[in-house]
Structure 1
């Protein structure tokens, strides 16, 4: 049995464990159901998620020309503090920017490889935490726009990490932390503009991933370079497929690749 289509980040359903779905043009796969089975991955071509052309993927699933043109790839996506829609100032497309930036955003603490601070739209809770491979997370503030979330994250980055160590996350080399205590400790560093939005009541969200075996020395698969790979699927965490031989494949990091997937 085989499937073919352009890779987009796996869709998830919050359950115990998390349910993972790979959505293709004409099919979808519940990946939890094929744990323990052998998968073959074959690189076919590129397909930019914006223009659809067979052009090398530059970043975030987009070809280079689209990446530097479309609002979905503007700098404020990765750096929320650069958001300007609340000032009625356009970056690339003010209508799009207002739609995305002028909605509730959450600043959170997540523990995947270490405690880190991050920003996401409220509608992306807990999806964002799942995508990062966090086994526990908690909200700090809920603000009405992306800019306020961004300046809060910048202020807190001086006191807590803002990056995930993907190898440590995949090895499950983690320690449980008291995120409520972390939140209270960081409250003093929240900017005045966002302090009224501090959340004092929420408890931690705990996340269980469908992993039968964690890799001891995870090695990342470059499917464009190797063109094909075959291995037994033993786990899924974050946006990574984990195989029996310690190979890991980042689905989100390979968005825009058209692949053929064969299940033995």
Structure 2
């Protein structure tokens, strides 16, 4: 469990590496251009025209945009999955209303157990793991809906619709789990870091004959690139703070499933 908790926060570690690494690269460039013994030799590089920056800058920007789109798309899919799961649970509750009292109470108890365990699973999803009781709750709900007395009370058509809703809930839950276990792809981010370094170097080369202007230029680039990459990285798990998807849609259904005191 401890290793799972540590692994859950590796997005933050990558974000720290991105920020620290970027500003270390800025320091290295400034040292090379102004204080190293090769500073005079570096001046011989002047002549690179400013539009050259656009080539590498565009490649870097597009790469970062694609990575950000993947991250925020996963966040949106997680939100949609939670709402669809809650809607399926609410529909199931509505369809169970005509059941006789004992069967309705039993079915709604199974639904409440599923919903509560599903909401409790959030702390596990933040650690990229699964609640140990979740599969058992889902199976118990499926078995209860598929029972003979439900078919006799509601008919084949309604029972089939209820089974479809239970299957939909399970699919959306599986989607939540898979999205929580999405890991940072080192190769993608290594490629982005390489393009970022090349862009930073190209900015420095354009201003190589004016070290102070070069420092200001690469600092501005670093201040734009590093925090943006860090923000994208720390949102790698949709169920991890600071922008975690919440189980509130599922929790809002639970009061209707529990009998009044």
Same structural fold, with TM-score higher than 0.5 when normalized by the shorter chain: no
Greater fraction of residues in helix: 2
- The one of the two structures with greater contact order (alpha-carbon pairs below 8 A, sep at least 6) is 2
Larger Rg: 2
- TM-score with structure 1 length normalisation? 0.26
Greater fraction of residues in strand: 1
